[in-house]
């Protein structure tokens, strides 16, 4: 049985560890996955193409879905704004699970109201909790969740396993993972 999104392109902006897990699942639905990284390099196992951040404008027109997973840095503030949304296919969908500052919310509202975007989902917003007077609450075709996209019945087990692994590595003097790179800001 074919899925409705078979062959559709999912562009993941910020192709890190979370994005790779999403890519695996999208591939299971026969979606085509493209990634965007700062350098244009990354694990190609689940991505058909990987673009450099400087090529984002080239990648956007080919995407049916755009998933924002990038970290918050000075370079990523309003990474997706009116100009980027205008490059997307009419009717495309935009999802932000990264940081609220990555998306220009006024541009998103305008694109949803005009029908330029087919829909959007936000798990993060610039101001959290989202104020009652925010225009996002009235935007059409917008799903808002309260910064809970990572929550599942396995969340605490996964986090505990990572913590235990890191503690064991620390005490054994082995290399750690999930370290913050202060030069990059994440």
Give the whole-number percent of the chain exceeding pLDDT 90: 85
B/e letters for 42-57, b = 16+ CB within 10 Å, e = fewer, are beeebbebbbebeebe
The CA distance from 112 to 119, in Å, is 7
Task: Supply the range of the domain harboring residue 181.
Answer: 153-186
Neighbours of 65 (CB within 10 A): 22
User: Is 84 among the residues known to form the active site?
Assistant: no
In a domain, 2, yes or no: no
What's this model's pTM, rounded to 2 decimal places? 0.89
Q: Is the pLDDT of residue 75 over 80?
A: yes
State yes or no: is 75 an active-site residue: no
Concerning whether 174 is annotated as a catalytic residue, the answer is no
With CA atoms as reference, report the closest residue to 167 among 154, 182, 159: 159
Residue 3 pLDDT? 64
Which uninterrupted H or E stretch holds 110? helix 105-114
In a domain, 3, yes or no: no
Span 133-166, pLDDT tens digits? 999 999 999 999 999 988 889 989 999 999 999 9
- Provide the number of structural domains found in the chain: 2
**Same domain, yes or no, for 115 and 42?**
yes
Pair 129, 167 in one domain = no
Distance CA 150, CA 1 (A): 29
Of 72, 78, 126, 147, the catalytic one is: 147
Task: State the catalytic residue, choosing from 21, 128, 168, 169.
Answer: 128
For 165, counting Cβ atoms within 10 Å of its Cβ (0-12 exposed, 13-18 middle, 19+ buried), the class is middle
Model pLDDT, residue 4 = 73
Among 38, 84, 99, 105, the one annotated catalytic: 99
Helix, strand, coil shares, percent, the chain, to 5: 35, 20, 45
What pLDDT score was predicted for residue 161? 96
Q: Are residues 104 and 184 in the same domain?
A: no
Instruction: State pLDDT tens for residues 23-64.
Output: 999 999 999 999 999 999 988 899 999 999 999 999 999 999
Q: Rounded to whole angstroms, how far apart are CA atoms 97 and 99?
A: 6
Residue 171 lies in a domain: yes
What pLDDT, on the 0 to 100 scale, is given for residue 2? 57
For 11-18, what is the mean pLDDT?
94
Q: What is the CATH number of the domain that holds 146?
A: 3.40.50.720
In this structure, are 158 and 136 located in the same domain?
no
Which of 77 and 186 is assigned the larger pLDDT? 77
The mean pLDDT value for 93-99 works out to: 97
The residues near 159 (Cβ < 8 Å, ≥ 6 apart) are: none
Instruction: Say if residue 100 is in the same domain as residue 18.
Output: yes
Distance of CA 45 to the CA centre of its chain: 18
Q: Whole-angstrom Cα distance, residue 163 to residue 151?
A: 17
């Amino acid at each position: 049985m074919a899925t409705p999104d078979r062959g559709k392109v999912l562009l993941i902006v910020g192709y890190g560890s979370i994005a790779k897990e999403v890519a695996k699942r999208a591939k299971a639905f026969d979606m085509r996955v493209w990634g965007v990284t700062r350098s244009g390099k990354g694990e190609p196992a689940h991505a058909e193409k990987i673009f450099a951040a400087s090529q984002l404008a080239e990648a956007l027109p080919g995407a049916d879905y755009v998933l924002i997973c990038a970290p918050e840095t000075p370079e990523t503030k309003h990474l997706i704004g009116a100009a980027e949304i205008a490059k997307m296919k009419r009717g495309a969908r935009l999802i932000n699970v990264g940081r609220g500052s990555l998306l220009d919310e006024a541009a998103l509202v305008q694109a949803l109201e005009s029908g330029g975007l087919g829909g959007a989902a936000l798990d993060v917003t610039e101001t959290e909790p989202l104020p009652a007077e925010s225009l996002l609450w009235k935007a059409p075709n917008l799903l808002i969740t309260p910064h809970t996209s990572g929550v599942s019945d396995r969340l605490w087990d996964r986090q505990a396993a990572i913590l235990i692994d890191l503690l064991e590595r620390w005490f054994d003097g082995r290399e750690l993972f999930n370290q913050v790179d202060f030069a990059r800001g994440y």
